[in-house]
A = this chain, B = another copy of it.
Amino acid sequence: MTSSKRRPSIGVFDSGFGGLTVLKELIAQYPDADYHYFGDTARLPYGSKSVETVAKYAVEASHFLENRGANLLVIACNTATALALDRITNAAHVPVIGVVEPGADQASAASKNRRVIVVGTEATVASHAYKKALEAHGVEVKEKACPLLVPLVEEGWVEHPVTQEVARIYLNEAFADGFRDADVLVLGCTHYPLIKPVLRKAAPDHVAIVDSAHSTASVVARQLRDHTRPTPVPSASPTATGLRFFATDSVEKFRRLGPRFLGHPVESVEHVDLKE
């Protein structure tokens, strides 16, 4: 009954807490793995920074996770994926999966009208990573930066009238002109799953929402199942997995905010100094 291959060790990387929504999905879809999560909280957010800076930080984080034994890297950060996936892949010695391609693939599969709206941070939108990935599928894309949504989630205003109003303003601007009939909304930021109900309400009724965190976890789980025999028996609880957390800023803050994104307690967090 034991697997012929060793239990996979997955390194999950984000600038902060948002990637925990990807980790949550990974644990749900593939619990029989060790997960090392690295949050670069001393340098977050990446969403407003340049490609050079983001690439440098992301490569450092990837090296850290490889050095901890990761045999697969998940870049659970839309900005880092959008700006630096090539650089990370070139610098890594193990397979790397980002969040953009899986989200774009699922959005393309879901869109009947072939018109899709992508919401994300300023940097993700400026990179046009989703636009390029979706246009390769023959889908027309409008990208909309929503820089206030991350701070609103971090303030904990996930059902607040202000958040509803901000979402309404952003999505009204997005679903306009030639994109009134866009039928898919891609959540191109790992913070956004926490306000999915608010975005659902602010978007036109006919729109399907694609959550990149969920799409990415599906791709990773499929890849793991294809390369690990026999198919692991899912564990009952995420605590059954080997979960470790690393953060470059305060571990106390990580323990406090992490559970909002992960959906269950964050036990032990280790502080990491990347020797800046």
Contact = CB atoms under 8 A, between A and B. Distances in A.
A276 interface: yes
Interface in A32-52: 41-44, 48-50
B49 A249 contact: yes
Nearest to A56: B276
Interface stretch (A161-169, A175-183, A191-199): A161-169
Interface residues of A, number: 27
Nearest to A146: B155
Contacts of A248: 53
A147 interface: yes
A122 to B, nearest CB: 9
A274 interface: yes
A157 B147 CA distance: 11
Contact residues of A: prevailing secondary structure: loop
Contacts of A249: 49-50, 53
Contacts of A25: none
A61 to B, nearest CB: 13
A274 B249 CA distance: 18
Given A53-B249, A249-B49, A253-B50, A154 B162 contact: no
A148 interface: yes
A12 to B, nearest CB: 21
Nearest to A151: B151
A152 interface: yes
A253 B50 CA distance: 9
A250 interface: yes
Contacts of A41: 49
A128 to B, nearest CB: 17
22 contacts: A42-B43, A42-B50, A42-B53, A44-B48, A48-B253, A49-B249, A49-B250, A50-B250, A50-B253, A53-B248, A53-B250, A56-B276, A147-B154, A148-B148, A148-B151, A148-B152, A148-B162, A150-B151, A151-B151, A162-B166, A274-B276, A276-B276
